[in-house]
Structure formats: C-alpha cells, structure tokens
C-alpha cells in the first residue's frame, strides 16, 4: 500500500499545492481564546480535565484520520481540488521531510484553525438568534483545546524532523519527547520508512517491505488505529471518517443538538450571553 501511497506526486514545495496560511488566523485565534477564557472558562477542575481529555482523544483521532486520508494515493485524484492540494502536500513531505523543520510548518494549519473558529462563530450566531442563548458552554473550551493541541502536534512534528537531522530543538521539547509526552522522533521516523520515498533509502524497514504505521501526531492511541487500518484498509471507510471525524462536523452536530433541545431558562434569556 505504501509503495503507491508514498509515490512522489512529482511536484515540489512552494507550488500551488502548498497550503496557504491566512493573515487573519492569529488575531481571530486571539479574540476567540480571550472570549473563551473570560466567558467560558471551566468552573471546576473536573470540568477542565473532562474537557481536556475529550479534546486530546478527539485531536489524536482527528489528526490520525487526516494523515491517513491525505497520505492515501487515491486522493491525488479526488474530485475537490483543495483535497488534492493537501494530499500532494502530505505525500511530498515523505520525499522531502526536512522542509517541515526548516520552514514555518505551523503556518500550514492556519486555515484549518480559521475555519474551525468560523464554525463556532457561525453556530453561536445561529443558536443565539434562534434560541436566545449560546452554544453549550464547554464547546468553546473544547474547540480552543483542539486548536491548541493541533498547534502543539504540528510544532512537535517539525521538531521530530529537526532532531532527526540534528537541528536545534528546544530543551523542553526534547525532554517531553524523551518522557513520552510528545511523539518521539524515532516513532515518527518509522512512518517515513518507505521504499519508494526519496531520501529514505537508508531507512528501509526489515526485508524491504513497506509499512504504514505511526500516523499519529500526538502520542494517543496510535497502535490501536494502525491495527484497525491494517485490518480494514477500506478507502470508503476512511473517506467517511475524513468527513465526520473533524472539528467542524462535531461543532455542527453539537449546535444542531442544541437547536433541537428544549428551551431552558438561562442568564442569556435575560440579555446576558452565558
Ligand atoms: Zn505521512
Ligand atoms: Zn514527518
């Protein structure tokens, strides 16, 4: 499978296939984070840890699915151009992994963060206009944590390659990688073990077969997801997961459930957004 997946799309970085970042992401994220921490902060430690656990498990699963989907060779011919762009971008990374360590890799998820926040803002306005109240309180913090963990994951991905190539890596990142809190470079290096990826010929797996493992960007449940993927390598399932295991889908489902729920008196009814 990897022999096809990892085949070079024959296009270089810096082309139209590279995801563009948005200048609006940073101010938008700042405003959203400020609003969430001022108005939607967790009221108990239990609330915080519960939301954090849900955000961590979700982000791990989401990034797994995203990575498996965009690494799949079928998506170089997907009917939507932006999906093709990302698929090519992900697969070119196998040919030229050091780029993620030498360029601003974190910019690559700016659009994703912007769209995620835009979904919360959109549904917040819809529910407020329709029901006179906000979305469920913890959805805001959950979204902020998913974005934060996504940023951390992509930062660490960059530092995995930096460390493999003996570039500078912050001491705290090295310490967390060695402690198993963040993905270790050796773990991610296995993902790049592919006989058809240029530059990885010295990193062949045993007996020269290809392996599709370690798609994770957070430590998470990678061995479980890899096993499932190998047991059921069905593109249709992966395709369905791509369109459902993502923050925009989750936010929309929660918002729709909120719209359908019975009206309950809240401070918002008295004119205060809660
Ligand atoms: Zn990959
Ligand atoms: Zn990589």
- Nearest-5° angle of CA 235, CA 19, CA 224? 40
Q: What is the pLDDT of residue 265?
A: 53
Q: Please tell me the total count of domains within the chain.
A: 1
Q: What integer pLDDT is reported at residue 22 of this predicted model?
A: 57
Q: Is residue 203 part of a domain?
A: no
Residue 243 within a domain = yes
Starting from the CA of residue 213, give the closest ligand. 1
pLDDT of residue 264: 57
Q: Output the CA 94–ligand 2 centroid distance in Å.
A: 7
The pTM of this model reads 0.82
* Residue pLDDT, tens place only, 65-112: 999 999 888 888 999 999 999 988 888 888 778 888 888 888 888 999
**pLDDT of the residue at 20:** 53
Residue 206, domain member (yes or no): no
Output b/e per residue, 207-229; b: 16+ Cβ within 10 A.
eeebbbbbbbbbbbebeebbeeb
Ligand closest to Cα of 91 equals 1
Which ligand is in closest contact with the Cα of 71?
1
What separation in Å is there between the alpha carbon of 94 and the centre of ligand 1? 6
pLDDT computed for residue 150 by the predictor: 96
| Residue 214 Cα to ligand 1 middle (Å) | 9
The ligand minimizing its distance to the Cα of 160 is 2
CA distances from 37 to 54, 107, 251, 258, 259 (A): 18, 24, 18, 21, 24
> Is 19 a member of any domain?
no
- Ligand that lies nearest to the alpha carbon of residue 157, given by its number in the listed order: 2
Count of CA atoms in the C-beta half-sphere (13 A) of 19? 26
Residue 13 within any structural domain of the chain: no
Q: 93 C-alpha to center of ligand 2: Å?
A: 7
Residue 17 lies in a domain: no
Ligand nearest the Cα atom of residue 194: 1
Is residue 90 included in any domain, yes or no? yes
Rounded CA separation 95/126 (Å): 44
- Report residues of the chain scoring pLDDT below 50: 1-15, 196-210, 268-274
For residue 155, count other CB atoms closer than 10 A to its CB.
Answer: 16
101-106 LR contacts (CB < 8 Å, sep 24+): 101/158, 101/159, 101/161, 101/162, 101/165, 101/167, 102/167, 103/13, 105/154, 105/155, 105/157, 105/158, 106/151, 106/154, 106/155, 106/158
* DSSP label at residue 183: -
In a domain, 193, yes or no: no
Q: Which domain holds residue 252?
A: 24-186+216-270
What separation in Å is there between the alpha carbon of 257 and the centre of ligand 1?
Answer: 35
- Using CA of residue 190, residue 195, residue 198, residue 203, what is the dihedral sign? positive
CA–centroid distance, 135 to ligand 2, in Å, is 36
């Amino acid at each position: 499978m990897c022999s096809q997946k990892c085949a070079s799309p024959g296009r270089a970085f810096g082309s139209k296939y590279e995801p563009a970042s948005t200048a609006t992401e940073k101010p938008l994220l700042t405003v959203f984070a400020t609003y969430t921490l001022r108005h939607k902060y967790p009221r108990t430690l239990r609330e915080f840890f519960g939301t954090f656990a849900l955000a961590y498990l979700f982000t791990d699963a989401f990034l797994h699915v995203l990575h498996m989907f965009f690494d799949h060779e079928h998506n170089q011919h997907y009917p939507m151009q932006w999906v093709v762009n990302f698929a090519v971008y992900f697969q070119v990374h196998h040919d030229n992994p050091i780029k993620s360590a030498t360029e601003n890799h974190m910019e690559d998820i700016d659009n994703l963060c912007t769209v995620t926040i835009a979904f919360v803002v959109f549904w917040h306005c819809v529910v407020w206009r329709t029901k006179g109240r906000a979305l469920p309180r913890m959805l805001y913090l959950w979204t902020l944590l998913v974005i934060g963990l996504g940023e951390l994951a992509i930062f660490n991905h960059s530092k995995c390659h930096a460390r493999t190539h003996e570039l500078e890596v912050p001491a705290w990142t090295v310490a967390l990688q060695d402690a198993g809190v963040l993905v270790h470079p050796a773990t991610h290096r296995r993902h790049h073990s592919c006989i058809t990826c240029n530059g990885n010929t010295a990193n062949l797996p045993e007996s020269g077969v290809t392996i599709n493992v370690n798609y994770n960007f957070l430590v998470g449940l990678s061995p479980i997801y890899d096993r499932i993927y190998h047991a059921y390598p069905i593109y249709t399932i992966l395709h369905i997961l791509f369109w459902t295991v993502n923050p925009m889908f989750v936010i929309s489902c929660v918002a729709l459930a909120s719209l359908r729920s019975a009206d309950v008196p809240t401070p918002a009814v008295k004119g205060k957004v809660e």
